[in-house]
A and B are shown apart, each in its own frame.
Chain A
Amino acid sequence: MIAFVAGAQAAPVSSWGTYHVAYTLVAVIYCGYTLSLWTRARRFRRSIEQAGVSPRG
């Protein structure tokens, strides 16, 4: 038996919108973080390579 919480409504069709928003938002957060990691890695690799190329550092 799924427990009722005081105030739960009967299945509102309007909750379709919310659930799409939530799923999109989570996808955006994860993709954004992935991008952030990748960009940072690229930036650091570039500075390492540049410093390695010119011995004066």
Chain B
Amino acid sequence: MDHVGVGMSARPPGTIAAAWLIARKDLAIEFRTRTAFLSSLVFAVLALCILYFAWDESIIAPADRAPGVLWVVVAFSGLLGLQRSFSIEEHDRGIDALLVAPTSREAIYLGKAIGNLLFLCAVQAVTLPALVLFYNLPVGQSLLGVAAIMILATIGIVAVGTLFSAMAVNTRMAELLLPMLSLPFFVPVLLNAAQATTRVLGGRPAAEAWPWLRIIIAFDIVFVVACTMAFPYTLEE
């Protein structure tokens, strides 16, 4: 394992520092091969294109469909990215090394979650411009609003997705179980995010998007806390 520079001090890193180290480790592994990143990216952009053809553009304007399409694609490309977060530990039982290390269980969860968050945000950083390109969205301030919604929503997605990824990896049917567990939990996030995005892209005042955003923020807070607390139970005792 790479020496990620823990430093000369004998004290183990605190929770946030440990989480950050774990996130860096995951991202380092990821960017060495870039396979999962490229797969998620290609999936997301292709899905955007395929979904374009699902509707008759003379009946429903592409710009009207864009919010719904965006959030469907974010959900499923997100699931692809989440699959890998614990499956990379399967090889050589890397999870045991993490458990033996002097970090708290919560730090492992937070580290994995932060790694996933950065991964998904990187994929979305390409997905959003692709959406603008293919669906003829106006480039302007509204896109900043959409980006903000994406980050907030991704926090919620990653919070539950990381936990369920940890659970699913212990079962025989991990690839099927992760979507089945996660998607019901994504519903409040996706519903509110899509509605908020519609308002923002439609040029409506920010106050109209706020009721939807409020729920996403509440979801993020509740589930980051709940999943952090629940994570130790998903590890073998």
Q: Do chains A and B touch in the complex (CB under 8 A)?
A: no
Residue ranges of B at the interface with A (Cβ–Cβ < 8 Å)? none
